[in-house]
């Protein structure tokens, strides 16, 4: 039948402490169970390092293994008690490692041995002891793993060792690591966001519903974060690339106003710049969008709200331009041909609310030239 052998080392274990009554007078010490109350926040397993109490092969002495990380007073392990109210024990290995001798192999049959971290505590196991120990369980030849000693009331399996027939030493391949990491109790982890949600640099954690969190992958270079209710996270990465609605490659002569048009996707835009170079006569840029959209422009001194179906003045003394029935328009920039006349450079916002809105740019009046390099540029922000 399986047998048990103990290996003693230098350990520390959470102990008891003094306490007083409300007046400060000394009373009986804390019970061991009371002292262990704080450890209930952990599940059984190693705390640190990841190699804490790890069972590893060694060449000398023969038929032996070592337990520990090779750093003194570094290995911490939580061992859970089996009895109601017994609680958890926090054990530290003070030695750099501890050698455990493995019994000689059988000449013809293999067996499975096990190594445990055991806390003997007399009130629960009637061992007459109160200390941590390494428990080596020798299995029966040709039989199954021995399992823990029936007298133990607080133990954790560290490793299983396959002892081959006629073996003279223990190799790394013979050892199966059975340890696991300690975690916070499930009642606490429900309120924590696990770091495993993040997979890569730049990932964001966003709310998807009440008390629900998910990962939003980092966007590509140059993209900006914007709201989108159609996405499960309510957010998306979008472009910040300028959209040049019009840029004249060459001088464009006109017999009347020069008009350029196209379509623009639904979204919110910043009118980043509207530049009309001085031409042959007063040159004006006027922008139209559908009546379902909004067009708001501003400069340092004024704010101009787009008007629907109205007449927009180009400049003082220069007449007017009709925006057309059912369309919204606003003056972008004016620039005359007089010396040192620079005009008003205006920026603003455009909210295209229909799926695809038409736009038109109108430059100038009769017999003007739209000079090369004139442009209107938007930047989409949502």
Mean pLDDT by 10 residues, the chain (382 residues): 82 49 66 83 95 96 96 97 94 96 96 97 91 95 94 97 96 97 79 81 89 86 80 82 56 48 70 55 50 51 37 34 44 43 50 61 50 62 66
Clarify whether residues 199 and 212 are in a common domain.
Answer: yes
Contact (Cβ atoms closer than 8 angstroms) between residue 226 and residue 382: yes
Range of the domain at 277: 242-380
- Among 201, 216, 238, which residue terminates a domain? 238
* Co-location of 12 and 159 in the same domain: yes
Rg (CA), the chain: 40
Residues 8 and 107 in one domain: yes
pTM above 0.85, yes or no: no
Same domain? For 11 and 156 the reply is yes
Determine the pLDDT at residue 188: 72
Residue where a domain stops, chosen among 238, 257, 273: 238
Query: Does a structural domain hold residue 324?
Result: yes
CB 89 within 8 A of CB 52: no
Residue 186 belongs to some domain of the structure:
no
Distance between CA 120 and CA 296 in Å, rounded?
A: 78
Task: Please indicate, yes or no, whether residues 40 and 136 belong to a single structural domain of this protein.
Answer: yes
Domain end position, chosen among 185, 216, 238: 238
Judgement on whether residues 164 and 283 belong to the same structural domain of the protein: no
In a domain, 123, yes or no: yes
Q: Do 203 and 133 sit in the same domain of this protein?
A: no
The Cα 380–Cα 382 span in angstroms is 6
Give the pLDDT confidence score for residue 20 in this predicted structure. 58
In a domain, 71, yes or no: yes
Domain assignment present for 187:
no
In a domain, 361, yes or no: yes
Q: CA 117, CA 46: separation in Å to the nearest integer?
A: 11
172 shares a domain with 42: yes
Same domain, 45 and 110: yes
Residues 331 and 297 in one domain: yes
Residues 6+ apart with CB under 8 A from 284: 276, 314, 315, 318, 321, 331, 333, 334, 335, 362, 363, 364, 365
Is residue 325 located within the same domain as residue 374? Answer: yes
pLDDT for 11 equals: 61
Q: Is residue 188 part of a domain?
A: no
- Domains held by the chain: number: 3
User: Would 183 be classed as within a structural domain?
Assistant: no
Any idea how long the chain is?
A: 382
CB 75 within 8 A of CB 13: no
Residues 91 and 215 in one domain: no
């Amino acid at each position: 039948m399986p047998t048990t052998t103990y290996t003693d080392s230098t350990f520390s274990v959470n102990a008891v402490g003094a306490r007083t009554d409300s007046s400060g007078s000394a009373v009986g010490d804390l019970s061991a169970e009371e002292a262990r109350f704080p450890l209930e926040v952990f599940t059984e397993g190693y705390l640190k390092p990841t190699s804490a109490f790890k069972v590893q092969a060694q060449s000398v002495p023969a038929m032996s293994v070592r337990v520990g990380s090779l750093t003194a007073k570094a290995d911490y392990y939580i061992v859970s008690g089996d009895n109601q109210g017994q609680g958890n024990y926090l054990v530290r290995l003070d030695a750099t490692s501890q050698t455990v001798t493995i019994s000689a192999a059988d000449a013809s049959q293999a067996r499975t041995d096990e190594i445990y971290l055991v806390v003997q505590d007399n009130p629960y196991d009637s061992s007459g002891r109160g200390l941590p120990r390494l428990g080596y369980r020798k299995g029966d030849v040709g039989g199954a793993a021995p399992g823990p000693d029936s007298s133990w009331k607080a133990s954790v399996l560290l490793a299983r060792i396959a002892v081959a027939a006629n073996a003279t030493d223990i190799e790394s391949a013979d050892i199966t690591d059975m340890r696991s990491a300690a975690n916070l109790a499930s009642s606490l982890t429900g309120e924590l966001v696990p770091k495993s949600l993040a997979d890569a640099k730049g990932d964001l954690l966003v709310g998807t519903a009440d008390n629900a969190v998910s990962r939003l992958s980092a966007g590509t270079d140059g993209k900006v974060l914007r709201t989108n209710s159609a996405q499960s996270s309510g957010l998306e990465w979008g472009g910040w690339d300028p959209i040049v609605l019009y840029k004249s490659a060459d001088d464009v002569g006109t017999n009347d106003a020069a008009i350029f048009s196209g379509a623009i996707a639904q979204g919110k835009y910043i009118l980043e710049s509207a530049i009309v170079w001085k031409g042959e006569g007063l040159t004006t840029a006027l922008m139209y969008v559908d009546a379902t959209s909004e067009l708001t422009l501003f400069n340092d001194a004024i704010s101009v709200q787009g008007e629907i179906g109205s007449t927009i003045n180009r400049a003082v003394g220069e007449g007017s331009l009709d925006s057309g029935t059912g369309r919204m328009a606003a003056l972008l920039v004016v620039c005359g041909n007089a010396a040192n006349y620079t005009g008003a450079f205006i920026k603003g916002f455009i909210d295209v609310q229909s799926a695809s809105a038409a736009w038109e740019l109108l430059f100038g009046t009769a017999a003007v030239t739209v000079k090369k390099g004139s442009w209107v540029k938007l930047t989409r922000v949502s």
